[in-house]
Amino acid sequence: MQRSIQTPDFCQLETIDRKQTRLRRYLAGLKECGSSKDLARGKRIHSEAVQNGDESNIYLASSLISMYSKCGDLPDAREVFDRLPRHNRDVAVWTALIMGYADNGLEDRALDEFFRMDCPLNPRPFVAALKACSSLAEKEEAIQDGGKAMAIKSRSLERGREIHARACRLGFDSSDVFVGNTLVDMYAKCGSMADARRAFEKIMAPDTVSWNALVLGYATNHEEAVAFEVFSRFLSTWLQPDHLSFVAVLKACSSLATKEVAAHNRLVKVFALEKGMAVHAEAARRGLDTSLFVASSLVDMYSKCGSMVDAQRIYNKLESCNVVLWTALMLGYAENGEEDLALKLFIELRPRNCRPNALSFLAASKACTGLAVKEEIQHQQVETIKRRPVKINSLEKGMAVHSEAIRCGCCDLFLTSNLVDMYGKCASMEDAQRAFDGMERRNAVLWTVLLAGYVENGEGEKARELFAPMRRDGCHPNSASFVAALGACRDGVSIETGRAFHADICRSGVECETQVGSKLVDLYSKSGMVSKAHEVFDSLPERNLVTWTSLLAGYSREGRTREVFHLFGGMLDEGLQADRVTMLCLLTACSHAGLVERGRELLKSMSSRYGVSPGVEHCECMADLLERANEAEAAREMRKMVARKENPTIIN
């Protein structure tokens, strides 16, 4: 029998071709709508697709979910997903939904959807879920890992490890570089660099992004030495570093400079500066120092190192400028005590096409805060608010910055927290309270800054009263909140109030944090409960100079000289350097015990042995000691020395 030959149905082919053309038009249009956030046009395309019966197409569904998510319309994105038949929900559709939740700040929902997926998987949803985990970590408050420098985001870390375990079972963690890179970044943001390093080592073929993520991870987790070592290894590979590679290692230089100022209190941080200059030279050799990203990081690094001449030179060298570079220079001047130059940059030297953002206003507000710290209240000519003198010059500048920030719509939580701090430093708590009240949504940081402002301005009772409304607002006090609260427990406040805060601190699990512990030691020492202060001191995994000095002062006030010098020896054994307050505690102890010769020896050796120049307070204390020992002539000579220190123009 002769087989019949089927001829093609040209009408059907034409219909398929028209449908494909229409789908391509829809997909291109939805991509444009997502980029421009044109929700109205996106909905029109969606409506047309429904009328033509194309809504169930999985490519179109993925694009619709992505478009709605980018426009912030998650209910409609979810509806598109839910209307799809279950068998049509492939990995692309699920990934679009997960990414939509993650990009709109609903990381927990994104992770829930990831673990609900019931279709064959590829690496893309793992990347989306891990990015959600990274965002979650950025929001989570870190917990010190056993008192070490490492701060862990434990909840985000646990979720990330679950995703990692599933990726391992499918082999994506080693075979897919995108999954591997995202794992490194996620673990770094969670504060677990050991996990980040293991994830990096498992990647079969790490690329530049892999190395950048690892270097940046170490830099942001305060392991600068390891960041430099990894960067050096990276340079020895066949891969070429890009501008983000230098941004990452310059972050390590900036972090190193921050530590160096804490350790040595120099104006210029020489060690960090040398490291930064070496990195700068390498970036210049590769022609990457003119990138705006690298230039901004160089300005930040030189500023943190205290070399504003170099920071300004980088800024002047570039023909073009953006808001990031301009802001970095402003912030550098503000943080290096040159507030007037920072404000001049903000007001008079703003580059063309540089519209200030929230960080620009933050730099300007920091400059106003610095001016306020330096400004003295002139009672005879200053304006007052409710009979309270304020620092009028700084206040006027700060109000102008605040007003422009409101006009530009830049008053986010972070900036408002700094503005509240600025008003507090200007001694205008009424303005601080107004700025605080203007925020519909508040966090623990904003509450804490307001609380600290009241404490600094002598309104401890008002500060203590803020704890109840803070909790009603859904904000749990953090370690900084308790530090401020304990600062309010003075000026005749019952020790029972301090004990109540101590109990609250223990319930919150922050009693072992060094700053909180130091404040508790200080509170109990000043309340005459030195045994309780010592008990808190012994419970701390780490003690700093403030902690030791607070306990020393407590024993010194009680005249327990033996304990004072025993503690002082222990402090030196831990490698801590005495400061002016420490030396005053020792001299006070000598005065209480009548140890004239020991006091003389201390005063004589302060500069040579401990690196502390005797000040007026030390000489006054020594004069008291001499008077108590009936050495009137020596006491008079010491008083003359005090007078010369207070007024160097006095002629003998």
Mean pLDDT for 390-412 is 92
pLDDT tens for 303-353 read 999 999 999 999 999 888 889 999 999 999 999 999 999 999 998 888 887
pLDDT given for residue 645 in this prediction:
61
Q: How far apart are CA 401 and CA 366, in angstroms?
A: 10
pLDDT given for residue 146 in this prediction:
45
Q: Which of 170, 226, 240 is nearest to 196 (CA)?
A: 226
Q: CB–CB of 436/421 below 8 Å?
A: no
pLDDT given for residue 362 in this prediction:
95
pTM of full prediction above 0.85: no
Helices (H), 488-544: 495-508, 514-526, 530-539
Average pLDDT over the chain, rounded to an integer: 87
In a 3-state reduction of DSSP, which class is residue 223?
Answer: coil
> Residue 278 has which token pair?
């070496």
Whether the predicted pLDDT of 172 surpasses 80: yes
Share of the chain above pLDDT 70, in %: 91
Lowest-pLDDT range, 108-117, 227-236, 271-280, 552-561?
552-561
pLDDT given for residue 396 in this prediction:
94
Q: CB–CB of 417/446 below 8 Å?
A: yes
Q: How far apart are CA 90 and CA 62, in angstroms?
A: 9
Q: What is the secondary structure of 380-410 as a DSSP string?
A: TT--EETTEE--HHHHHHHHHHHHHHHHTT-
Whether the predicted pLDDT of 628 surpasses 90: no
pLDDT tens for 425-436 read 999 999 999 999
Give, to the nearest 10 degrees, the angle between helix 413-425 and helix 358-374.
10
Give, to the nearest 10 degrees, the angle between helix 632-646 and helix 616-628.
170
**343: CB partners within 8 A, 6+ apart:** 364, 367, 368, 397
18 vs 102, more confident? 102
Q: CB–CB of 207/177 below 8 Å?
A: yes
In a 3-state reduction of DSSP, which class is residue 558?
Answer: coil
State the pLDDT confidence band at 6, using cuts at 50, 70 and 90: low
State the pLDDT confidence band at 385, using cuts at 50, 70 and 90: very low
pLDDT tens for 282-295 read 999 999 999 999 99
**434: CB partners within 8 A, 6+ apart:** none
Give, to the nearest 10 degrees, the angle between helix 123-139 and helix 177-189.
10
pLDDT given for residue 652 in this prediction:
44
pLDDT given for residue 382 in this prediction:
45
Whether the predicted pLDDT of 219 surpasses 60: yes
Whether the predicted pLDDT of 78 surpasses 50: yes
The domain locations on the chain are 29-131, 330-437
State the pLDDT confidence band at 152, using cuts at 50, 70 and 90: confident
453 vs 56, more confident? 453
Q: What is the secondary structure of 168-189 as a DSSP string?
A: HHHTHHHH-HHHHHHHHHHHHH
Whether the predicted pLDDT of 418 surpasses 90: yes
Mean pLDDT for 112-123 is 91
Q: Which of 608, 610, 561 is nearest to 586 (CA)?
A: 561
Mean pLDDT for 483-495 is 74
Give, to the nearest 10 degrees, the angle between helix 616-628 and helix 580-593.
10
Q: How far apart are CA 263 and CA 483, in angstroms?
A: 22
In a 3-state reduction of DSSP, which class is residue 151?
Answer: strand
Whether the predicted pLDDT of 242 surpasses 60: yes
Mean pLDDT for 419-424 is 95
Whether the predicted pLDDT of 39 surpasses 60: yes
**32: CB partners within 8 A, 6+ apart:** 38, 41
Strands 151-152 and 143-144: antiparallel
Lowest-pLDDT range, 261-275, 348-362, 591-605?
261-275
Lowest-pLDDT range, 265-274, 578-587, 633-642?
633-642
